[in-house]
Amino acid sequence: MTRVPSGRPASARALLVGTGRHVRPSTLPPMPQAVTAARALAAALTGPQGMFDARRTTVVPEPADPRQILDPLRRMVREPDVDLLLFAYCGHGLLGRDDRLCLALTPSSQYGGGSDPSPSLPFTEVASLLRESSARHKVAILDCCFSGRALGPDGHGIHLLTACGPTQKALFPPDGTLTGFTGAVLGVLDEGIPDGPRHLGLADLYDRLAVVLPTTPAPRTGLFPTGYPTPHQQTVDRSGHLALAVNPAHGTARTPAGLRARAAFAQRLKQLTEPSPDTPVPDPAALPRLVDVLADLAVDAAEVLGPLDDFSIDVRRNHAVMTGVAGSPEQATVLLSALVDALRAKSADHRALPGAERALAHWRSRREPFPGE
């Protein structure tokens, strides 16, 4: 069950940083989307559906000196009776000494020559300060290149949600107004999850992003020819249940709009079961998850729209086929037999009948014969 910070929103604090403009001696490319994204995330977290109070949420745009970030964070760290302390950064991520993650400031240089880029803010300093807080839960959301380097010892005791892995680059659409990762976060918070809980927790957000981001077309850089990098998450005890916002789609799972949204998510999930230039070896967890999603969707669609509604038929066939792909041709045969019988009983010329019959023949030929056959 997703946990809401006690005494919300007064018990939650947030500091959000965006660095998009760069000045000499920096040679980093400008990223105006970073500041826009940080401000938009703050607005979502403090809006009607958010868990944070605008009076206890600070946005730092275009910091030129680490103190512009550390000073307000230090003040939050010293506050008593804080349940949740959140830090978010959007901008360029740089590699410093021992390849540790450094957060870019407006004058940051790209290369440190074996030392930390100067000036910059090593994430270890942020993490160390967060750990000084008496807050029961500390969270860091990092939307920058190499953000996965914060995972592990550097981020000990902190729930981390990162835009990419330790060797990857986060991406942003050059002509867009938001970065790819934070834009996807905002999309989930705005659209919600129809079959999700009443409040969107960090784990709910990660589970959604892990499907949405790699199936969203990204700028072609040669590194990610199709989708954005898959995000990473590090949890601390039950920190994944911490709520960030009310789920605006809660209770819509069995409405026509909710059913369509769930089908669209299933289609994205299906993409992760297929080899691609980004993922030559598909995610092994995606296929069983897809089968479960389609199974629930098939039941709800049949009850809400009718078992032979066009939408229901498509979902039932997809569920059966993916059940077979997942290694259960016998169950696929059972599901498809029921669908074919129902279609024949309705009309011998039903448009969906030939496809269902072909699928049935395919999976029947791959199962073990039933007794008596």
Mean pLDDT of 197-217: 95
E strand or H helix at 245, and its extent?
strand 243-246
In CATH, the number for domain 12-246 is 3.40.50.1460
pLDDT band at 314 (very low <50, low <70, confident <90, very high): very high
**Residue written as tokens 């999930």?**
269
Q: How far is CA 129 from CA 58, 65, 103, 211, 279, in A?
A: 16, 16, 15, 32, 37
Residue 230 predicted with pLDDT over 60? yes
Residue 369 predicted with pLDDT over 90? no
pLDDT tens digits for 103-112? 999 999 876 5
The C-alpha atoms of residue 199 and residue 275 are separated, in whole angstroms, by 34
Note the pTM of the prediction, 2 decimals.
Answer: 0.93
Structure tokens at 35: 């500041």
Angle at 227 (CA atoms; ends 257, 61), nearest 5 degrees: 90
Instruction: State which amino acid sits at residue 137.
Output: H
Beta-ladder partners of 242: 3
pLDDT tens digits for 18-75? 999 999 888 899 999 999 999 999 999 999 999 999 999 999 999 999 999 999 999 9
pLDDT recorded at residue 274:
85
pLDDT recorded at residue 224:
45
What distance separates the 2 farthest-apart alpha carbons in the chain? 81
**Residue written as tokens 């006690």?**
6
The C-alpha atoms of residue 185 and residue 179 are separated, in whole angstroms, by 10
What is the side-by-side strand order in the sheet with 120-122? 93-95, 101-104, 120-122
Residue 214 predicted with pLDDT over 70? yes
Mean pLDDT of 241-254: 96
Residue 275 predicted with pLDDT over 80? no
Mean pLDDT of 327-348: 96
Instruction: State which amino acid sits at residue 193.
Output: I
